[in-house]
Structure 1
């Protein structure tokens, strides 16, 4: 009998032992309604609004129990800058192209793209092929359900 979940605990607590886990890539972790396939069963996920599931999140099952979300390793580029200022410059170039990026203190991770690799190497970044889970920053426009507000800027002279 398929499981059903309408709730996510993010992040899941270590003391909550899951019945199963499901491994998903970054793109597959953005969902609202979906049939998720386990080793020998399925979970019908039916959330009120879309969510970006993270590694370790738990789907709460109707009737009790949890399913752990596992971030799948993906083919990525690890971008290593010369110094912290160079990292900011590289992040700006990637952001300017609206590329999902995982930004850390000494590196940036992005999905592999030979054209972008060429650009980064042209900006004297070291680019290394890696395979690991991908957790890009969530853009401001993806935050909270339908929330928007105007901006007003006051300049003091």
Structure 2
């Protein structure tokens, strides 16, 4: 079994050994042993706080690389009549500590009936879709470039 030890910014001319298709939760807290599409068993031994995103590239301890793909998941897509209402919906979800992916005209979040019921009184249009989920990092996740 190989170990994933760090992230790369590019393939650097190396062939891709395997592809990991991971849920949002698996990408948020990458740990344990996972199996790639080509059958490679990989121990995720990344530094604490590492978060994986769509199109990330993992470096393995033997020099190989693995591509990361975000698994499509059941999500709620939230649309409102105007941006003020959308901001209210985003605030309400954040106030309930619900991870949200923010787009210019809509929000996405994991599909739960509780979240859908929370949004309906705002007059939001809520529909179930299946798509990769890339939620915002939140107050306690730092990328290193915007330290407060």
**TM-score if structure 2 supplies the norm length?**
0.87
Quote how far apart the aligned CAs of 1:14 are.
Answer: 9.1
Q: Which runs of 4+ in 1 moved over 6 A?
A: none
- Distance in 2, matches of 1:94 and 1:18, equals 38
Give the whole-Å Cα distance in 2 for the aligned partners of 1:88 and 1:110.
Answer: 14
Q: Give the strand-richer structure, 1 or 2.
A: 1
C-alpha separation in 2, matches of 1:20 and 1:85? 44
Asked if structure 2 preserves the Cα contact closer than 8 Å seen for 1:32 and 1:49, the reply is: no
108-117 vs 93-102, greater mean Cα deviation: 108-117
Q: Single out whichever of 135-144 and 121-130 deviates more from structure 2.
A: 135-144
Q: Give 2:83's aligned residue.
A: 84
Structure 1: runs of 5+ lacking an equivalent: 150-157
Give the secondary structure class of the aligned counterpart of 1:51. coil
- The equivalences for 1:1-150 within 5 A come to 2-9=1-8, 12=10, 17-38=15-36, 39-143=38-142
- Which residues of structure 2 form unaligned runs of 5+? none
Note if contact 1:23-1:70 (Cα within 8 Å) is conserved in structure 2: yes
Name the stretch that deviates more: 100-109 or 59-68: 59-68
Q: Once the two structures are superposed, what CA deviation does each residue of 1:100-150 show, in whole Å capped at 9, x if it has no partner? A: 0001001000111112212211100000110000000001213269xx97x
Structure 1 pair 32–76 and aligned structure 2 pair: CA distance change class (3 A): closer
Change (3 A) 1:116 1:59: same
- RMSD value, Cα: 2.2
Provide the aligned length of Structure 1 versus Structure 2.
Answer: 145
Matched residue, 1:154: none
2:71–2:131 contact (8 Å) kept in structure 1: yes
